[in-house]
Amino acid sequence: MSNILCLAESNNQLFNTWQYELTPYLKDSNAYGNIYFARYFEWQGLCREKWFSECVCHNMFELNGSLVTRSAANDYIASIFPFQKVRCLLNTQHIRAASFDLVFRFYDMESNQLLSIGHQKIALIGPESKKPVRFPKEILDKVRFYVTECH
């Protein structure tokens, strides 16, 4: 599966990491010449949805409930520019019965410089109650496959 990468992290632990290569275009830039800060969240969304549909659950709309974003955050380390090749690495963290976190690390593909780090907390809410419900075990097992300790 070409999008999975084994990464040697701190403490000599190996983590399974999902990766995706993306290229920003003019639509993502702004009058300062670099990529607008809000676009990084579109990338978080694109990566999480591609990962989820390819690696966790083929059709998110068939889950017995809705995925909701509880929080989202991004730290901007270096500017990104149109046409720059960017690699996004996705891992999971803090996996609970009804929520888990995603961590996104964006790297320049040529220099391997870390450009940005993002975090999200995702939960599942019931179709009627709109209250948190437990993820099915087969979903959590697949989410756990990508877990990392790194921040």
Distances (CA, A) of 142 to 25, 136, 148: 32, 10, 13
Nearest to 39 by CA among 29, 51, 47: 29
Residue 48 CB, shortest distance to a second copy, in Å, is 9
The H or E element containing residue 142 is helix 137-144
Site for a second copy in 32-71 (CB under 8 A): 32-34, 36-38, 41-42, 44-46, 49-50, 53, 59, 61, 66, 68-71
Residue 114 CB, shortest distance to a second copy, in Å, is 14
Q: Does 85 bind a second copy (CB under 8 A)?
A: no
Q: Does 30 bind a second copy (CB under 8 A)?
A: yes
Residue 62 CB, shortest distance to a second copy, in Å, is 12
Q: Are 18 and 51 in contact (CB under 8 A)?
A: yes
% helix / strand / coil in the chain, to the nearest 5?
A: 25, 40, 40
Q: Which residues bind a second copy (CB under 8 A)?
A: 23, 25-27, 29-34, 36-38, 41-42, 44-46, 49-50, 53, 59, 61, 66, 68-76, 79, 81-83
